[in-house]
Amino acid sequence: MNQAASGAPLTQLSEEEALFRETVRHFAQNEVAPLVRRMDEAQQLDAGLLRRLFALGLMGIEIPEEFGGCAGSFFDSVLAVEMLSAVDPAVALVVDVQNTLVASAILRWGTLQQKRDLLPRLAAEVTGAYALSEAGSGSDAFALQTRAEKRGSEYVLTGRKLWISNAREAGLFIVFATVDASAGYRGITAFLVEKDTSGFAIGRKEDKLGIRASSTCELILEECAIPPTRVLGEVGRGYKIAMETLNGGRVGIGAQMLGLARGAWEHAVNHARERKQFGKAIAEFQAMQFQLAGMATDIEAARLLVYNAARLKDARQEFRKEAAICKYFASEMAERVASLAVEVLGGSGFVKESPVEKLYRDAKIGKIYEGTSFMQLAAIAKAVL
């Protein structure tokens, strides 16, 4: 029975989950950590690292074995994102988008043929991206202007997408467009678009404050013809696909922010134990102890919220409110904890050589993407009032 349903402690992991978590933690510390600074400065994910993510199975965690995946749970995806984020949230985002948005949507809404065609590739070599946002549709996700005109048996897509994570590395995109603007959100449809499709191109790459190794680009669609076999779900059901998928994605972002905060806290603790002032380690001063204790409390609270939402999803229980709560709290908490970690390290935390400087920059996006903090509060209010 799912731990959220059974009443068992949410932080208690099964033997399989604990082993998986330690495997990812070891990979992050030994394979990712040496590359973090170089990738951040180059604003590019290391190609060899991406291949190793596939080889370890982290790009197909929930994909069933019959399609070449690991047959894991959503909770496993959350654990992977958390462990990677403690070292580099940019790398974690690649894994997060692949699992909680792209593969998840195809598993839930794809036809058997779409699953047979796409899931083995996503598990083995193809990175996915989720293309919903546009210049005029951010928080108002369904104000999108990308059009899908029916011409004969095909849909011809025209429009622009902005702020698309994984865009430069991706070979498959879930693109949302409207087949009937007069129908409002009921005209929105999801399409499976491959990178080499005629009329499809990757545009400008954003120069970002944080998560710089993760590419964020514009997508350009000009007379991009898509066959009906590449409609995901039903025509006009894109709004439902987007909302259901983003609920899981918000838990993934909660896990990213949780891992980021834990990584920042661990750097702060290690520094406090080693740094000496007035003849003793600064960790021996009560003021520093209280600050670190408060940070640890916030991290544990976020962990419970994230794990609870993930367990509920795996148990096929309603989790929309819990997803909004964990995303809101974890993102607010991560920015606060990362900021305090910089202060604990003092001048050493303010320079580029310090990992907490990068984690502080990375934390800001948590309150923005996959639904701003204001949008999460609106969702929570709607659920509880």
CA distance 289 to 146: 53
Residues 6+ apart with CB under 8 A from 129: 97, 102, 164, 165, 166, 167, 170, 172, 173, 174
Alpha carbon 359 to chain centroid distance? 15
First to last CA, the chain: 30
Task: Please indicate whether residue 134 is annotated as part of the active site.
Answer: no
CA distance 162 to 135: 6
Residue from 328, 330, 334 nearest 380 by CA: 328
Residue from 266, 216, 201, 281 nearest 44 by CA: 216
Residues 6+ apart with CB under 8 A from 379: 320, 321, 324, 371
What is the token pair recorded at 329? 């709290």
Pairing between β-strand 127-131 and β-strand 276-277 as defined by DSSP bridges:
unpaired
Q: Are 179 and 235 in contact (CB under 8 A)?
A: yes
Q: Are 25 and 83 in contact (CB under 8 A)?
A: yes
Q: Which amino acid is at 8?
A: A
The answer for 68, left when phi > 0, alpha when psi is -120 to 50, beta otherwise, is left
Catalytic site positions? 370
